[in-house]
Homo-oligomer: A and B are copies of this chain.
């Protein structure tokens, strides 16, 4: 059916331009409504090249999701890796000291996360991800296995150590989602945020306020008495 992607270096710029345009157009219009013409026009290449390079529209869609997973991993990967290394080094050790640096790491990770969600470049692929969450296609696996599972695991584990009360793994995962939700809302409900806050843009100043709020909330949640 859909042939493998040709790998000749000569076509690489074309493939990358198509993928970048695809993320934008698929994110804005959804898979069905997005037209291959709109994508090829935005990429500045011929429409027939989508069939040649990706086998067709679905192949280009999957390539776009893979590109997103790689982008997120590139952006958050180093921080997540350093956290995972620290988690492994601490092993089963617990106590005030572990709790303190786990909280700090949790705050740092979510500040990086919300910074990513706030950026303009993330707008297009965030739209695609939110679509996949609402109606998962076969491509959802690319996103979940590509970065979601790993980040969720790190956040849950940090919550467990920062709280240091015998919360179950399921409870920590639930806490992780409520913490992540506090960042996600600034992308998922962006239009309402901008209108209600009467912001004209979400720039550095606004992001600082959001980050301070997140730091405070995270500390309050993990330090609260059970």
Contacts and interface: CB of A to CB of B under 8 A. Distances in A.
Nearest to A123: B134
Interface string A124-149: 00110010111110001000100011
A48 interface: no
A217 interface: yes
List the number of copies, as a whole number.
2
Given A134-B127, A174-B210, A174-B213, A148 B192 contact: yes
Interface string A185-225: 11011111101110000000000011001101101110110
Contact of A177 (B133, B170, B177, B185): B185
Interface residues of A, number: 54
Nearest to A199: B170
Contact of A33 (B31, B148, B214): B31
Contacts of A152: 192, 196
Contact of A191 (B132, B190, B219): B132
A160 interface: no
